[in-house]
Amino acid sequence: MIYDKLSHLETYASVSERLTKGLRFLRDTDFSSIPDGKYEIDGKDLFYMLQSYTTREANDTPEAHRKYIDIQYLLSGEEAIGVGAVSDMTEEVSAKPDGDVWFYHGPLSQIKLGSGSFAVLFPQDAHAPGIAVGAPAPVRKVVVKVLL
């Protein structure tokens, strides 16, 4: 997992060309007039989803992906994300391989997204997004999916 600010994105240029392209896309795009939905940047190799929702008190079913890296970035509001190693998860709850998502139960720590911070979540990173910081509140988020 990487947890940082977009102002430091060039630090990760050597990790992956697609990852860097996704981070630069976040930095350089004005999302204010783009409606929620799924959009391609580079076909199925690099795409993003714009989402608006209200955070919730808890998310006790972290997810993980095997084909894609997630870059999660809040455009407005703040939320906590539970994060933990897939290897530390105690139970696989369900799986949707066609959607590249596996759900688990297990121990998590929390990080907070907002104020320009982003999280890059690799296949070994279970993550439970959408958790309220304080009381549930509306957020607008971009999730960039980067094919491994």
Residue 85 to residue 77: CA distance in whole angstroms = 26
Residue 15 to residue 101: CA distance in whole angstroms = 23
Residue 74 has what pLDDT? 96
Q: CA separation (Å) from 24 to 11, 28, 53, 96, 110?
A: 12, 6, 24, 30, 25
Residue 62 to residue 59: CA distance in whole angstroms = 7
Residue 32 to residue 111: CA distance in whole angstroms = 25
Residue 128 to residue 55: CA distance in whole angstroms = 11
The more confidently predicted of residues 52 and 10 is 52
Residue 147 to residue 40: CA distance in whole angstroms = 12
Q: 14-72: per-residue pLDDT in tens?
A: 999 999 999 999 999 999 999 999 999 999 999 999 999 999 999 999 999 999 999 99
Q: 61-112: per-residue pLDDT in tens?
A: 999 999 999 999 999 999 999 999 999 999 999 999 999 999 999 999 999 9
Superfamily of domain 2-147, CATH level 4: YhcH/YjgK/YiaL (2.60.120.370)
Give the residue extent of every domain in the chain: 2-147
| pLDDT at position 116 over 90 | no
Q: 123-145: per-residue pLDDT in tens?
A: 999 999 999 999 999 999 999 99
